[in-house]
Amino acid sequence: MLYQKDVLDRWTGYAVLKTAEEIGITEGKAKGKAEVVTNLISKFGFTDEQVINAAEVSLDFVKKIRASLEKGK
């Protein structure tokens, strides 16, 4: 009985760590995409369509980044 609880606790801890790792990876990718989109717009003057094709992101994502850049001016 005690062994089963120990095994369950270890698997639960492992599952929590893997989930946190996956969330971190996902958030890192999103930040990376945002940085790429920001650079394509601000440094190269890409249109929304060009950004969508180059960065493989949605139009909504591009519009959000473009709006945040406009607020920052």
**Per-residue pLDDT tens digits for 7-33:** 888 999 989 999 999 999 999 999 999
Comparing 37 with 10, the larger pLDDT belongs to: 37
66: confidence class by pLDDT, cuts 50, 70, 90: very high
- Calpha distance 51→18 (Å, rounded): 32
* Number of domains observed in the structure of the chain: 1
Q: Residue 15 sits in which domain range?
A: 2-72
The predicted model scores a pTM of 0.73
